[in-house]
Amino acid sequence: MLKKEYSKDLSKLNSFGMKVQSRLFVEYDSLMDLVELDFDELFHPVKHIGAGSNLLFTGDFPGTLLHSAIRFTEVLSEDAKGVRVSVGSGVIFDDFCAWAASKGYWGVENLSLIPGEVGASAVQNIGAYGVEVKDVIETVYAYDTKEEEMVHFDASACGYAYRDSFFKHAEGRYIVTHVVFVLSKAYAPRLDYGNIRAALGLDETSVPKGLTPQQVREAIIRIRREKLPEVGKVGSAGSFFKNPVVSRAEYERICAQHPGVSVPHYEVGDAVKIPAGWMIEQCGWKGRRSGNAGVWDKQALVLVNATGAALPEEILRLESQIIVSVRERFGIELSPEVEHL
Ligand code: EPU
């Protein structure tokens, strides 16, 4: 079924809670409806959205927003090693994580509670706690709006990188309809990121036995609830900026400029990733307000609609202020992770 709404209020369709409208909003719940949609008849630009949890609407959207309500979870095959599962693009990603944990399958437990839907997860290569969704994706199925045909891509053909894929650079040509994931039955907890071990009551070296995906999922949920604003209560789009990857020389320059400070970092090949949240905190922004916008007091990488009444320009002003601060203090240019529409 196709659902079309004009002058659609988007306040509940973007997790930042911006009170904006879309000229047209179209939702479909089957492949057939998507294929039959006449794109020439829609207002342009046409943009496909997921749950709106990684978007900042900078004003009313002048064209058409498309949304998938294709929702199914189907086990395609199962053997002693694991399962292959096909999941519709409109499924809430965390519902899929909950399903996998309830069945005892490993693979997506560290991605628990990330807001958003399955289609967007494959476009954005969502990640958390040492895992990226590309690690469990086998194939992405999409509708090619240019050739007007269904296509599919193995994960290796999706150009996956940190919060990136080739879909993001194809200017809306491909609409993800469903994703095939590979989940494992083999014992495979990934506990080495940050404080997962502590959240499970483990010390840093013990090799735990008998953990379940459900226990790891619950630990991740506890960690996220402590650090991140509750979706639906405080408007935000999760991490607002990407963690910048800099050269080793640049990292060493920053260390030299901050004697006695241990600069948090992760090795990425020959380069070094420095948490943007740490830099923003060092610049004094953590917990600060700028009008109705603010920086979350428990995680400085998260910008929030602090009062619920923030206008897009207030978030944009705070974004610029933070970029300038980090540039002046560290000589590093932050770039937003959140897509601006
Ligand atoms: N840090 C601070 N102050 C802060 C925030 C972070 O000093 O206010 C430092 C700490 O040293 C901490 C390190 O930064 O150890 C990393 O912090 P955290 O583990 O919270 O992760 P992050 O790098 O800030 C990334 C993702 C998150 C994901 C977490 C956990 C990006 C842009 N963000 O944040 O993803 O949940 O790791 O894996 O890569 C999202 O994309 O929306 C998101 C929430």
- Atom 2 in ligand 1: residue holding the nearest Cα: 278
Do 93 and 116 touch, CB atoms closer than 8 A?
A: yes
pLDDT number for residue 15: 96
Give the distance (Å) from ligand 1 centre to CA of residue 95: 23
Residue 221 has pLDDT above 90, yes or no: yes
pLDDT number for residue 175: 98
The rounded mean pLDDT for the chain is 96
* 14 CB within 6 A, ligand 1: no
Residue 296 has pLDDT above 90, yes or no: yes
Q: What is the CA radius of gyration of the chain?
A: 21
For the stretch 311-331, pLDDT in tens is 999 999 999 999 999 999 999
Quick one: pLDDT band at residue 263, thresholds 50, 70, 90?
very high
Between CA 215 and CA 218, with CA 217 as vertex, the angle to 5 degrees is 65
Quick one: pLDDT band at residue 194, thresholds 50, 70, 90?
confident
Domains, the chain, in order of start with CATH, read 2-68 (3.30.43.10), 73-205+215-222 (3.30.465.10), 235-340 (3.90.78.10)
**Dist. CA 61–CA 30, nearest whole Å:** 25
**Dist. CA 195–CA 186, nearest whole Å:** 23
282-286, long-range: CB < 8 A, 24+ apart: 282/329, 282/330, 283/322, 283/325, 283/326, 283/329, 284/325, 285/322, 285/325
pLDDT number for residue 125: 97
Quick one: pLDDT band at residue 204, thresholds 50, 70, 90?
confident
* Residue the block writes with tokens 């923030």: 310
pLDDT number for residue 333: 97
DSSP state of 41: G
Residue 205 has pLDDT above 90, yes or no: no
Give the distance (Å) from ligand 1 centre to CA of residue 78: 35
Give the distance (Å) from ligand 1 centre to CA of residue 50: 22
Query: Which amino acid, one-letter code, is at 218?
Result: E
pLDDT number for residue 232: 86
pLDDT number for residue 203: 86
For the stretch 127-162, pLDDT in tens is 999 999 999 999 999 999 999 999 999 999 999 999
Q: What are the C-alpha distances in Å from 104 to residues 86, 157, 188, 213?
A: 17, 29, 11, 6
Quick one: pLDDT band at residue 207, thresholds 50, 70, 90?
confident
pLDDT number for residue 249: 95
**Dist. CA 169–CA 228, nearest whole Å:** 29
The closest-lying atom of ligand 1 relative to the alpha carbon of residue 276 is 24
* pTM, 2 dp: 0.95
pLDDT number for residue 314: 97
Q: What are the C-alpha distances in Å from 171 to residues 47, 50, 51, 123, 238?
A: 9, 16, 19, 12, 23
The closest-lying atom of ligand 1 relative to the alpha carbon of residue 300 is 8
For the stretch 70-113, pLDDT in tens is 999 999 999 999 999 999 999 999 999 999 999 999 999 999 99
Do 296 and 287 touch, CB atoms closer than 8 A?
A: yes
- Percent of the chain at pLDDT above 70? 100
Q: Is 163 a catalytic residue?
A: yes
Q: Which of the following is catalytic: 239, 290, 314, 319?
A: 239
Token pair for residue 317? 């002003």
Quick one: pLDDT band at residue 235, thresholds 50, 70, 90?
very high
pLDDT number for residue 208: 86
Residues 6+ apart with CB under 8 A from 167: 122, 123, 140, 142, 158, 174, 176
Q: Is 36 a catalytic residue?
A: no
Residue 276 has pLDDT above 90, yes or no: yes
**Dist. CA 118–CA 180, nearest whole Å:** 10
Q: What are the C-alpha distances in Å from 38 to residues 34, 42, 269?
A: 9, 7, 46
pLDDT number for residue 147: 95
